[in-house]
Amino acid sequence: MTLSKHLLTLSLVVALGAWAQRPAQAVELTIYLNQATETGVREVAMGWEKATGNKVNVVFPPGAQLNERIVSGAPGDLFSSGLAAVDDYVKSGKIVDVVEYGLVGNGAAVKEGAPKYDISTPEKFKQALLEAKSIGHTAAGTGPFNTRMFQKMGIYDQIKDKVRITMGGKLVAQALIDGDFEFGIQQTNVIQPFPGTIYLGPLPDELLEYATSSVGLLAVSKHPEEAKAFMKYMADPANAGLQRKGAMFPLS
């Protein structure tokens, strides 16, 4: 073999080797979710995108459209919601793998200009509830936690007549602005931030009750390995700060 032919062959080998070592082409994942997990998932997704070069499309379909997309087998890779909702899709075969990754709990807010109650301790929070002219929360999600909490605090009978329940998916923060009630309680990542209201903070640790958030791999996913990698990333304690940035709580 002449020198020129040898160099040409060597160049081809080097070029092929370099091509083989290029990173795999980035993929786009689609994750469907409900309002209860949206903020935390968006923050974690941005972190994963920076770390891997892949992209995550976070989709929050309104109303019944979320269920319709999962049931109909619409293109997608992941579904994030409360543990019970994810388990229902596991039973129907729409989800084939599940990872628990975070927690949600309640916080409180008032309308801008209203008394800014101190809720930093159970006793101060109790006093705020007794002083407030009306109290509002939802019937869904973490809403039922409140009735148990009021009973645990021993003030249920004293405040039950001034408790208002938001209906039709109306946000507690919006109800505060509309004057439906004076003191609002809802998930920390849903009730704030919201223009026109003042977020008082999460409920005192001693009174907080958490709901578990989980993510499921959709049976229709075209990128199951990458989706599983993202699920693992979501649950990694090293990424707890991203969840907290989204006003959610890590598992530990």
How far CA 196 is from CA of 38, 114, 125, in Å, comes to 21, 11, 22
Q: Who wins on pLDDT, 21 or 76?
A: 76
Region 179-199 average pLDDT:
95
Q: What whole-number distance in Å separates Cα of residue 219 and Cα of residue 76?
A: 9
- Altogether, the residues listed in the chain come to a count of 252
pLDDT band at residue 2 using 50, 70 and 90 as cut-offs: very low
Q: What digits encode the pLDDT tens for the residues 100-133?
A: 999 999 999 999 999 999 999 999 999 999 999 9
Q: What digits encode the pLDDT tens for the residues 88-97?
A: 999 999 999 9
Region 8-17 average pLDDT:
38
Q: What digits encode the pLDDT tens for the residues 21-36?
A: 334 689 999 999 998 9
Q: What whole-number distance in Å separates Cα of residue 96 and Cα of residue 118?
A: 45
